[in-house]
Amino acid sequence: MSPLWRNEVGVYVTPRRIYLVRIKRGIRPVLEREEDHAVAETANGWESALKLYESLLDTGGWSDAAARIVLADHWVRYTIVPWSDSLSAPAERLAHARELLSSVFGDSMSDWTITLSSAPPGVSCLASAVPTALLTALKDLTLRHGQKLITVQPQLIAAFNTWRHALPAAAAARK
């Protein structure tokens, strides 16, 4: 089946709620299903939310689709990474971002997956960090239930991408 025709499931995972939508793809995509569920045990971190997500996948109707997951910022850490001419390789920039995140949030960043936003040379970028165990659990969960995981994005990044077209150009009116 062509990826353009693959049904999609959108999942928004928060400490207190799981929100799912299923879109039937085609010439005119159609909203097939939409559900909002409260997480019963909010004290256990993301494990409780993923347990609920898995139970929803077990009930059927959500499998055999491409999955786009948005994570609540509750589980994400951010920092601005200033441009540095002394860092030339992407690995150096990532290591610098990890050091900045560790200085703000503590040494626990060694177990987190860090990504950097794309930015042209000379411009600061945004570093986001998500627990690697959470990403691994999401990958395993979707795989077990016949979903093809397309993307996992923090809420801030998903919101920015949604509204990017309405924001002014970064260098506009600087004189």
Given this model, what pLDDT does residue 170 score? 59
H-state helical runs in 10-165: 46-58, 90-105, 132-144, 155-163
Count of positions (residues) in the chain: 175
Percent of the chain's residues with pLDDT above 70:
91
Q: Phi and psi at residue 146, in whole multiples of 5°?
A: 75, 20
Given this model, what pLDDT does residue 109 score? 85
Q: What does the alpha-carbon distance between residue 15 and residue 51 come to, in Å, rounded to a whole number?
A: 11
Given this model, what pLDDT does residue 175 score? 34
Under the phi-then-psi rule, with left for phi > 0, alpha for psi from -120 to 50, and beta for the rest, what region is 83? beta
DSSP string for residues in 38-57:
E-S--TTTHHHHHHHHHHHH
Which regions in the chain score pLDDT beneath 50? 1, 171-175
Given this model, what pLDDT does residue 141 score? 94
Q: What is the pLDDT of residues 18-61, one digit of tens each?
A: 999 999 887 888 999 999 999 987 666 899 999 999 999 988 78
Given this model, what pLDDT does residue 10 score? 94
Q: What does the alpha-carbon distance between residue 47 and residue 9 come to, in Å, rounded to a whole number?
A: 20
